[in-house]
Amino acid sequence: MSARRREAPAPAASPRPNEGAPCRAARPPPAAPGGAEQEQAPAAAPPAPAAAMVGREKELKIRFVPGCCELVEEDVDIPSRRVLITGATGLLGRAMFKEFHENNWNAVGCGYRRAQPRFEQINLLDSVAVHDIIHDFQPHVIVHCAAERRPDIVESQPDAASQLNVAASGNLAKEAAGVGAFLIYISTDYVFDGTSPPYKETDVPNPLNLYGKTKLEGEKAVLENNEAAAVLRIPVLYGEVERLEESAVTVMFDKVQFSNKSANMDHWQQRFPTNVKDVASVCRQLAEKRMLDPSVKGTFHWSGNEQMTKYEMACAIADAFNLPSSHLRPITDCPVVGALRPRNAQLDCSKLEMLGIGQRTPFRVGIKESLWPFLVDKRWRQTVFH
Ligand SMILES: NC(=O)c1ccc[n+]([C@@H]2O[C@H](COP(=O)([O-])OP(=O)(O)OC[C@H]3O[C@@H](n4cnc5c(N)ncnc54)[C@H](OP(=O)(O)O)[C@@H]3O)[C@@H](O)[C@H]2O)c1
Protein backbone atom coordinates (compact mmCIF):
# COMPACT_ATOMS: atom_id res chain seq x y z
CA MET A 1 0.00 0.00 0.00
CA SER A 2 2.69 2.48 0.97
CA ALA A 3 4.73 1.46 -2.09
CA ARG A 4 1.75 2.18 -4.31
CA ARG A 5 1.36 5.57 -2.72
CA ARG A 6 5.00 6.47 -3.21
CA GLU A 7 4.70 5.58 -6.90
CA ALA A 8 1.64 7.80 -7.28
CA PRO A 9 1.93 10.57 -9.88
CA ALA A 10 3.18 14.02 -8.95
CA PRO A 11 0.59 16.65 -7.96
CA ALA A 12 0.26 18.13 -11.42
CA ALA A 13 -0.82 14.79 -12.83
CA SER A 14 -3.18 13.68 -10.06
CA PRO A 15 -6.87 13.67 -10.89
CA ARG A 16 -8.79 16.60 -9.53
CA PRO A 17 -10.60 15.38 -6.42
CA ASN A 18 -13.72 17.34 -7.27
CA GLU A 19 -14.21 15.37 -10.44
CA GLY A 20 -14.97 11.75 -11.19
CA ALA A 21 -12.29 10.00 -9.16
CA PRO A 22 -11.78 11.49 -5.71
CA CYS A 23 -9.77 8.47 -4.62
CA ARG A 24 -6.21 9.76 -4.98
CA ALA A 25 -4.87 11.98 -2.22
CA ALA A 26 -4.34 15.32 -3.96
CA ARG A 27 -1.15 16.70 -2.48
CA PRO A 28 -0.80 20.25 -1.25
CA PRO A 29 0.53 22.75 -3.82
CA PRO A 30 4.18 22.05 -4.70
CA ALA A 31 5.27 25.52 -3.54
CA ALA A 32 4.60 24.51 0.07
CA PRO A 33 5.18 20.75 0.21
CA GLY A 34 4.99 20.50 3.96
CA GLY A 35 2.54 23.37 4.24
CA ALA A 36 4.30 26.53 5.43
CA GLU A 37 1.82 26.79 8.26
CA GLN A 38 2.78 23.32 9.52
CA GLU A 39 6.48 24.15 9.64
CA GLN A 40 5.78 27.09 11.93
CA ALA A 41 3.26 25.35 14.17
CA PRO A 42 4.28 23.27 17.19
CA ALA A 43 3.58 19.56 16.82
CA ALA A 44 0.11 19.37 18.36
CA ALA A 45 -1.14 22.81 17.32
CA PRO A 46 -3.66 23.25 14.49
CA PRO A 47 -2.53 24.70 11.19
CA ALA A 48 -3.17 28.40 10.71
CA PRO A 49 -6.50 29.14 9.03
CA ALA A 50 -6.21 28.73 5.28
CA ALA A 51 -5.88 32.20 3.78
CA ALA A 52 -7.94 31.39 0.72
CA MET A 53 -10.65 28.84 0.08
CA VAL A 54 -9.04 27.64 -3.13
CA GLY A 55 -5.58 27.42 -4.67
CA ARG A 56 -4.46 26.92 -8.25
CA GLU A 57 -2.85 23.74 -9.44
CA LYS A 58 -1.85 22.32 -12.77
CA GLU A 59 -3.68 19.19 -13.81
CA LEU A 60 -3.60 16.88 -16.79
CA LYS A 61 -6.95 16.63 -18.53
CA ILE A 62 -8.14 14.59 -21.47
CA ARG A 63 -9.53 16.74 -24.30
CA PHE A 64 -11.67 14.97 -26.90
CA VAL A 65 -11.52 16.21 -30.47
CA PRO A 66 -13.12 14.43 -33.45
CA GLY A 67 -11.07 11.35 -34.26
CA CYS A 68 -8.72 11.45 -31.26
CA CYS A 69 -8.15 12.63 -27.75
CA GLU A 70 -5.19 14.53 -26.33
CA LEU A 71 -3.69 15.25 -22.90
CA VAL A 72 -3.54 18.93 -21.99
CA GLU A 73 -2.27 20.73 -18.89
CA GLU A 74 -4.76 23.13 -17.36
CA ASP A 75 -4.92 25.35 -14.28
CA VAL A 76 -7.64 24.17 -11.90
CA ASP A 77 -9.05 25.36 -8.59
CA ILE A 78 -8.33 23.03 -5.67
CA PRO A 79 -9.89 23.82 -2.29
CA SER A 80 -7.02 24.69 0.01
CA ARG A 81 -8.61 23.18 3.13
CA ARG A 82 -7.72 19.51 3.26
CA VAL A 83 -9.63 16.85 5.20
CA LEU A 84 -8.86 13.15 5.51
CA ILE A 85 -11.77 10.90 6.43
CA THR A 86 -11.25 7.36 7.75
CA GLY A 87 -14.08 4.87 7.42
CA ALA A 88 -15.28 6.74 4.32
CA THR A 89 -16.86 3.55 2.99
CA GLY A 90 -19.03 3.18 6.10
CA LEU A 91 -22.45 4.55 7.01
CA LEU A 92 -21.19 7.74 8.66
CA GLY A 93 -17.99 8.11 6.62
CA ARG A 94 -19.87 8.28 3.31
CA ALA A 95 -22.00 11.17 4.57
CA MET A 96 -18.90 12.81 6.06
CA PHE A 97 -17.01 12.67 2.77
CA LYS A 98 -19.99 14.13 0.90
CA GLU A 99 -20.50 16.93 3.42
CA PHE A 100 -16.88 18.16 3.27
CA HIS A 101 -16.55 17.58 -0.48
CA GLU A 102 -19.70 19.62 -1.18
CA ASN A 103 -18.57 22.45 1.08
CA ASN A 104 -15.36 23.42 -0.62
CA TRP A 105 -12.96 21.11 1.17
CA ASN A 106 -10.35 19.01 -0.59
CA ALA A 107 -11.55 15.70 0.85
CA VAL A 108 -9.78 12.36 0.68
CA GLY A 109 -11.57 9.29 2.00
CA CYS A 110 -9.99 6.06 3.25
CA GLY A 111 -11.65 2.70 3.43
CA TYR A 112 -10.39 -0.82 3.72
CA ARG A 113 -12.29 -3.77 2.25
CA ARG A 114 -14.72 -1.56 0.26
CA ALA A 115 -12.24 1.19 -0.60
CA GLN A 116 -11.71 0.56 -4.28
CA PRO A 117 -12.26 2.25 -6.66
CA ARG A 118 -13.47 5.43 -5.00
CA PHE A 119 -11.29 5.82 -1.94
CA GLU A 120 -7.75 5.23 -0.70
CA GLN A 121 -7.28 1.71 0.61
CA ILE A 122 -5.53 2.00 3.98
CA ASN A 123 -5.47 -0.63 6.70
CA LEU A 124 -5.42 1.52 9.82
CA LEU A 125 -3.50 -1.25 11.60
CA ASP A 126 -0.62 -0.61 9.17
CA SER A 127 1.18 2.27 10.85
CA VAL A 128 3.51 2.84 7.86
CA ALA A 129 0.56 3.28 5.48
CA VAL A 130 -1.09 5.67 7.96
CA HIS A 131 2.10 7.69 8.33
CA ASP A 132 2.55 7.85 4.55
CA ILE A 133 -0.92 9.08 3.68
CA ILE A 134 -0.91 11.74 6.39
CA HIS A 135 2.52 13.02 5.42
CA ASP A 136 1.69 12.93 1.71
CA PHE A 137 -1.65 14.70 2.00
CA GLN A 138 -0.88 17.04 4.94
CA PRO A 139 -4.52 17.38 6.03
CA HIS A 140 -5.70 20.30 8.15
CA VAL A 141 -8.42 18.06 9.60
CA ILE A 142 -8.85 14.30 10.06
CA VAL A 143 -12.27 12.85 10.86
CA HIS A 144 -11.79 9.35 12.25
CA CYS A 145 -14.97 7.37 11.57
CA ALA A 146 -13.47 3.88 11.12
CA ALA A 147 -14.19 1.46 13.95
CA GLU A 148 -15.66 -1.90 14.79
CA ARG A 149 -19.01 -0.62 16.03
CA ARG A 150 -21.13 -3.77 16.31
CA PRO A 151 -21.32 -4.62 20.05
CA ASP A 152 -21.87 -8.35 19.51
CA ILE A 153 -18.88 -8.63 17.12
CA VAL A 154 -16.68 -6.74 19.59
CA GLU A 155 -17.64 -9.26 22.31
CA SER A 156 -16.75 -12.19 20.05
CA GLN A 157 -13.52 -10.69 18.61
CA PRO A 158 -12.20 -8.48 21.43
CA ASP A 159 -8.54 -8.36 20.35
CA ALA A 160 -9.24 -7.34 16.76
CA ALA A 161 -11.76 -4.74 17.94
CA SER A 162 -9.30 -3.32 20.45
CA GLN A 163 -6.56 -3.08 17.82
CA LEU A 164 -8.81 -0.97 15.58
CA ASN A 165 -10.82 1.01 18.14
CA VAL A 166 -7.96 1.74 20.54
CA ALA A 167 -4.45 1.15 19.18
CA ALA A 168 -5.11 2.43 15.64
CA SER A 169 -6.94 5.48 17.01
CA GLY A 170 -4.01 6.35 19.28
CA ASN A 171 -1.57 5.98 16.40
CA LEU A 172 -3.72 8.13 14.12
CA ALA A 173 -3.85 10.82 16.82
CA LYS A 174 -0.07 10.78 17.11
CA GLU A 175 0.36 11.10 13.34
CA ALA A 176 -2.22 13.91 13.24
CA ALA A 177 -0.27 15.78 15.91
CA GLY A 178 2.90 15.32 13.86
CA VAL A 179 1.50 17.40 11.00
CA GLY A 180 -0.62 19.75 13.14
CA ALA A 181 -3.91 18.30 11.87
CA PHE A 182 -7.09 18.69 13.93
CA LEU A 183 -8.38 15.16 14.66
CA ILE A 184 -12.05 14.49 15.35
CA TYR A 185 -12.50 11.02 16.88
CA ILE A 186 -16.05 9.70 16.57
CA SER A 187 -17.18 8.02 19.78
CA THR A 188 -20.47 6.76 21.19
CA ASP A 189 -23.13 7.29 23.84
CA TYR A 190 -22.37 3.68 24.89
CA VAL A 191 -19.51 5.03 27.04
CA PHE A 192 -22.29 5.78 29.58
CA ASP A 193 -24.24 3.23 31.61
CA GLY A 194 -27.60 4.87 30.92
CA THR A 195 -28.74 5.16 34.54
CA SER A 196 -28.80 8.97 34.96
CA PRO A 197 -29.41 10.82 31.67
CA PRO A 198 -28.91 13.30 30.16
CA TYR A 199 -25.10 13.09 30.11
CA LYS A 200 -22.79 16.08 29.84
CA GLU A 201 -19.24 15.84 28.48
CA THR A 202 -17.95 16.16 32.05
CA ASP A 203 -19.99 13.23 33.39
CA VAL A 204 -18.05 10.11 34.34
CA PRO A 205 -18.36 7.35 31.74
CA ASN A 206 -19.10 3.78 32.78
CA PRO A 207 -19.52 1.58 29.70
CA LEU A 208 -21.58 -1.58 30.15
CA ASN A 209 -20.27 -3.54 27.18
CA LEU A 210 -16.91 -4.17 25.54
CA TYR A 211 -17.75 -1.97 22.54
CA GLY A 212 -18.32 1.01 24.85
CA LYS A 213 -15.12 0.14 26.73
CA THR A 214 -12.99 0.02 23.57
CA LYS A 215 -14.45 3.34 22.35
CA LEU A 216 -13.74 4.94 25.72
CA GLU A 217 -10.18 3.58 25.67
CA GLY A 218 -9.95 4.93 22.11
CA GLU A 219 -10.95 8.39 23.40
CA LYS A 220 -8.20 8.22 26.03
CA ALA A 221 -5.60 6.99 23.52
CA VAL A 222 -6.52 9.87 21.19
CA LEU A 223 -6.34 12.60 23.84
CA GLU A 224 -3.12 11.18 25.36
CA ASN A 225 -1.41 11.29 21.96
CA ASN A 226 -2.91 14.57 20.81
CA GLU A 227 -4.15 16.99 23.46
CA ALA A 228 -5.49 19.32 20.75
CA ALA A 229 -7.87 16.67 19.33
CA ALA A 230 -11.65 16.47 19.68
CA VAL A 231 -13.90 13.58 20.65
CA LEU A 232 -17.47 13.62 19.35
CA ARG A 233 -19.88 11.21 21.06
CA ILE A 234 -23.02 10.32 19.11
CA PRO A 235 -25.93 7.87 19.52
CA VAL A 236 -27.52 5.34 17.15
CA LEU A 237 -27.21 6.39 13.51
CA TYR A 238 -29.38 6.07 10.42
CA GLY A 239 -29.17 7.52 6.92
CA GLU A 240 -28.64 6.44 3.33
CA VAL A 241 -27.70 2.78 3.54
CA GLU A 242 -26.25 0.35 1.01
CA ARG A 243 -28.04 -2.50 2.82
CA LEU A 244 -30.80 -2.22 5.44
CA GLU A 245 -28.57 -4.11 7.93
CA GLU A 246 -26.05 -1.25 7.91
CA SER A 247 -27.99 0.63 10.58
CA ALA A 248 -29.78 -0.56 13.71
CA VAL A 249 -32.67 1.70 12.66
CA THR A 250 -33.08 0.86 8.96
CA VAL A 251 -32.73 -2.88 9.64
CA MET A 252 -36.28 -2.79 11.06
CA PHE A 253 -37.82 -1.79 7.71
CA ASP A 254 -38.52 -5.29 6.40
CA LYS A 255 -40.23 -6.25 9.66
CA VAL A 256 -42.37 -3.13 9.29
CA GLN A 257 -43.16 -3.75 5.62
CA PHE A 258 -44.08 -7.42 5.88
CA SER A 259 -47.18 -6.86 7.96
CA ASN A 260 -48.52 -10.39 7.47
CA LYS A 261 -46.02 -11.52 10.16
CA SER A 262 -46.07 -10.21 13.72
CA ALA A 263 -42.76 -8.78 14.91
CA ASN A 264 -41.40 -8.25 18.43
CA MET A 265 -39.75 -4.86 18.89
CA ASP A 266 -37.69 -3.66 21.85
CA HIS A 267 -39.62 -1.09 23.89
CA TRP A 268 -37.16 -0.96 26.79
CA GLN A 269 -34.06 0.91 25.57
CA GLN A 270 -34.53 4.65 24.98
CA ARG A 271 -32.72 5.81 21.83
CA PHE A 272 -32.15 9.10 20.03
CA PRO A 273 -31.86 8.18 16.33
CA THR A 274 -29.48 10.58 14.64
CA ASN A 275 -29.11 11.26 10.94
CA VAL A 276 -25.58 10.77 9.57
CA LYS A 277 -25.98 13.96 7.49
CA ASP A 278 -26.50 15.92 10.71
CA VAL A 279 -23.40 14.42 12.34
CA ALA A 280 -21.38 15.17 9.20
CA SER A 281 -22.57 18.76 9.18
CA VAL A 282 -21.72 19.12 12.87
CA CYS A 283 -18.18 17.81 12.21
CA ARG A 284 -17.68 20.22 9.32
CA GLN A 285 -18.93 23.15 11.42
CA LEU A 286 -16.64 22.06 14.26
CA ALA A 287 -13.65 21.82 11.89
CA GLU A 288 -14.35 25.25 10.43
CA LYS A 289 -14.76 26.78 13.89
CA ARG A 290 -11.46 25.21 14.97
CA MET A 291 -9.64 26.68 11.96
CA LEU A 292 -10.60 30.09 13.33
CA ASP A 293 -10.23 29.32 17.02
CA PRO A 294 -7.52 26.93 18.32
CA SER A 295 -9.26 26.69 21.72
CA VAL A 296 -11.98 24.50 20.12
CA LYS A 297 -10.94 21.01 21.28
CA GLY A 298 -11.85 18.31 23.82
CA THR A 299 -15.01 16.26 24.18
CA PHE A 300 -18.38 17.12 22.61
CA HIS A 301 -21.81 15.49 22.34
CA TRP A 302 -24.22 15.48 19.42
CA SER A 303 -27.59 13.75 19.11
CA GLY A 304 -31.02 13.90 17.56
CA ASN A 305 -33.63 15.12 20.05
CA GLU A 306 -36.48 12.68 19.46
CA GLN A 307 -36.52 10.00 22.16
CA MET A 308 -37.81 6.66 20.86
CA THR A 309 -37.58 2.96 21.57
CA LYS A 310 -37.07 0.64 18.62
CA TYR A 311 -40.80 -0.13 18.76
CA GLU A 312 -41.59 3.58 18.52
CA MET A 313 -39.14 4.01 15.63
CA ALA A 314 -40.78 1.11 13.81
CA CYS A 315 -44.24 2.68 14.32
CA ALA A 316 -42.90 6.04 13.07
CA ILE A 317 -41.47 4.32 9.99
CA ALA A 318 -44.81 2.62 9.32
CA ASP A 319 -46.57 5.95 9.74
CA ALA A 320 -44.13 7.75 7.39
CA PHE A 321 -44.91 5.24 4.63
CA ASN A 322 -48.64 4.86 5.42
CA LEU A 323 -48.10 1.22 6.35
CA PRO A 324 -49.95 -0.75 9.06
CA SER A 325 -48.24 -1.13 12.45
CA SER A 326 -50.69 -3.40 14.27
CA HIS A 327 -48.38 -6.42 13.68
CA LEU A 328 -45.56 -4.74 15.68
CA ARG A 329 -45.37 -5.89 19.32
CA PRO A 330 -43.66 -3.79 22.00
CA ILE A 331 -41.38 -5.80 24.31
CA THR A 332 -40.88 -3.91 27.55
CA ASP A 333 -38.47 -6.35 29.27
CA CYS A 334 -34.73 -5.73 29.31
CA PRO A 335 -33.20 -7.79 26.44
CA VAL A 336 -31.43 -10.90 27.74
CA VAL A 337 -29.43 -11.83 24.63
CA GLY A 338 -26.38 -10.06 23.22
CA ALA A 339 -24.11 -7.43 24.76
CA LEU A 340 -25.51 -5.32 27.62
CA ARG A 341 -26.95 -1.97 26.49
CA PRO A 342 -27.54 1.25 28.48
CA ARG A 343 -31.24 1.94 29.17
CA ASN A 344 -31.04 5.65 28.36
CA ALA A 345 -27.71 7.26 27.43
CA GLN A 346 -29.20 10.58 26.29
CA LEU A 347 -26.46 13.07 25.44
CA ASP A 348 -26.63 16.70 26.53
CA CYS A 349 -25.58 18.68 23.44
CA SER A 350 -25.58 22.17 24.95
CA LYS A 351 -21.80 22.60 24.69
CA LEU A 352 -21.90 22.43 20.87
CA GLU A 353 -25.14 24.41 20.77
CA MET A 354 -23.46 27.20 22.76
CA LEU A 355 -20.80 27.33 20.03
CA GLY A 356 -23.59 27.86 17.48
CA ILE A 357 -23.01 24.40 16.01
CA GLY A 358 -25.80 21.99 15.17
CA GLN A 359 -28.23 20.48 12.67
CA ARG A 360 -31.21 18.23 13.30
CA THR A 361 -33.34 16.56 10.65
CA PRO A 362 -36.77 15.45 11.92
CA PHE A 363 -36.80 11.62 12.15
CA ARG A 364 -39.86 11.28 9.94
CA VAL A 365 -38.22 13.32 7.16
CA GLY A 366 -34.81 11.66 7.42
CA ILE A 367 -36.08 8.11 7.63
CA LYS A 368 -38.36 8.52 4.62
CA GLU A 369 -35.45 9.87 2.58
CA SER A 370 -33.25 6.95 3.70
CA LEU A 371 -35.70 4.10 3.25
CA TRP A 372 -37.75 4.81 0.17
CA PRO A 373 -35.32 2.97 -2.17
CA PHE A 374 -36.03 -0.19 -0.14
CA LEU A 375 -39.79 0.08 -0.30
CA VAL A 376 -41.32 -3.14 -1.58
CA ASP A 377 -44.49 -1.42 -2.71
CA LYS A 378 -43.26 0.30 -5.86
CA ARG A 379 -46.69 1.84 -6.45
CA TRP A 380 -46.16 4.07 -3.41
CA ARG A 381 -42.82 5.17 -4.73
CA GLN A 382 -44.30 6.03 -8.11
CA THR A 383 -47.15 8.03 -6.57
CA VAL A 384 -44.91 10.06 -4.34
CA PHE A 385 -41.80 10.60 -6.40
CA HIS A 386 -42.93 10.67 -10.03
N1 LIG B 1 -23.57 3.15 13.56
C2 LIG B 1 -23.99 3.63 14.72
O3 LIG B 1 -25.18 3.52 15.07
C4 LIG B 1 -23.03 4.38 15.62
C5 LIG B 1 -23.50 4.89 16.85
C6 LIG B 1 -22.62 5.61 17.66
C7 LIG B 1 -21.30 5.79 17.27
N8 LIG B 1 -20.87 5.25 16.10
C9 LIG B 1 -19.48 5.45 15.71
O10 LIG B 1 -19.48 6.11 14.46
C11 LIG B 1 -18.35 5.70 13.69
C12 LIG B 1 -18.82 5.27 12.31
O13 LIG B 1 -19.68 4.15 12.43
P14 LIG B 1 -20.36 3.51 11.14
O15 LIG B 1 -21.69 3.00 11.54
O16 LIG B 1 -20.25 4.42 9.98
O17 LIG B 1 -19.41 2.24 10.90
P18 LIG B 1 -19.44 1.22 9.68
O19 LIG B 1 -20.51 1.56 8.72
O20 LIG B 1 -19.42 -0.15 10.30
O21 LIG B 1 -18.04 1.48 8.96
C22 LIG B 1 -16.85 1.06 9.54
C23 LIG B 1 -15.72 1.62 8.70
O24 LIG B 1 -14.48 1.21 9.27
C25 LIG B 1 -13.63 0.79 8.20
N26 LIG B 1 -12.65 -0.17 8.68
C27 LIG B 1 -12.87 -1.34 9.31
N28 LIG B 1 -11.68 -1.95 9.57
C29 LIG B 1 -10.71 -1.13 9.08
C30 LIG B 1 -9.30 -1.21 9.03
N31 LIG B 1 -8.61 -2.24 9.55
N32 LIG B 1 -8.62 -0.20 8.43
C33 LIG B 1 -9.28 0.85 7.91
N34 LIG B 1 -10.61 0.99 7.93
C35 LIG B 1 -11.32 -0.01 8.51
C36 LIG B 1 -14.58 0.16 7.22
O37 LIG B 1 -13.96 0.06 5.94
P38 LIG B 1 -14.36 -1.10 4.88
O39 LIG B 1 -15.82 -1.36 5.03
O40 LIG B 1 -13.98 -0.51 3.56
O41 LIG B 1 -13.53 -2.29 5.25
C42 LIG B 1 -15.73 1.14 7.25
O43 LIG B 1 -15.47 2.23 6.41
C44 LIG B 1 -17.65 4.62 14.51
O45 LIG B 1 -16.58 5.19 15.20
C46 LIG B 1 -18.70 4.17 15.50
O47 LIG B 1 -18.11 3.69 16.69
C48 LIG B 1 -21.70 4.55 15.26
Task: Answer yes or no: is pLDDT of 231 > 60.
Answer: yes
Q: Is the peptide bond before 117 cis (omega within 30 degrees of 0)?
A: yes
The confidence score (pLDDT) of residue 42 equals: 35
Task: Answer yes or no: is pLDDT of 43 > 90.
Answer: no
Q: Is the CB of 172 under 6 A from ligand 1?
A: no
168 CA to centre of ligand 1 in angstroms: 13
What value does the mean pLDDT take over residues 79-98? 96
318-329 pLDDT, tens digit per residue, is 999 999 999 999
What value does the mean pLDDT take over residues 42-50? 38
243-271 pLDDT, tens digit per residue, is 999 999 999 999 999 988 999 999 999 99
Nearest alpha carbon to residue 320 among 380, 265, 365: 365
Task: Answer yes or no: is pLDDT of 185 > 80.
Answer: yes
Give the least confident one: 53-67, 234-248, 273-287, 302-316. Answer: 53-67
Nearest atom within ligand 1 for CA of residue 115: 40
Task: Answer yes or no: is pLDDT of 208 > 80.
Answer: yes
Rounded-to-integer distance, Cα 386 and Cα 383, Å: 6
Task: Answer yes or no: is pLDDT of 367 > 60.
Answer: yes
Task: Answer yes or no: is pLDDT of 348 > 70.
Answer: yes
Q: Is the CB of 87 under 6 A from ligand 1?
A: yes
Task: Answer yes or no: is pLDDT of 156 > 50.
Answer: yes
148 CA to centre of ligand 1 in angstroms: 6
The confidence score (pLDDT) of residue 7 equals: 32
Residue 176 neighbours by CB under 8 Å, 6+ apart: 134, 139, 142, 182, 183, 226, 229
Mutate which of 187, 213, 237, 243 for ligand 1? The one with the most ligand atoms within 8 Å of its CB, which is 237
How confident is residue 29, by pLDDT bands cut at 50, 70 and 90? Answer: very low
Q: Using alpha carbons only, give the angle 25, 29, 32 rounded to the nearest 5 degrees.
A: 120
Q: Report the chain's mean pLDDT, rounded to a whole number.
A: 85
Q: Specify the pTM.
A: 0.85
Helix (H, G, I), strand (E, B) or coil at 232: strand
Helix (H, G, I), strand (E, B) or coil at 327: coil
Rounded-to-integer distance, Cα 37 and Cα 34, Å: 8
The confidence score (pLDDT) of residue 378 equals: 59
How confident is residue 66, by pLDDT bands cut at 50, 70 and 90? Answer: confident
Q: Is the CB of 90 under 6 A from ligand 1?
A: yes
How confident is residue 160, by pLDDT bands cut at 50, 70 and 90? Answer: very high
Rounded-to-integer distance, Cα 27 and Cα 131, Å: 14
Mutate which of 23, 86, 92 for ligand 1? The one with the most ligand atoms within 8 Å of its CB, which is 92
Q: Is the CB of 154 under 6 A from ligand 1?
A: no
Pair 59, 12: CB distance under 8 Å: yes
Task: Answer yes or no: is pLDDT of 284 > 90.
Answer: yes
What value does the mean pLDDT take over residues 150-164? 95
Residue 24: count of CB within 10 angstroms of its CB: 18
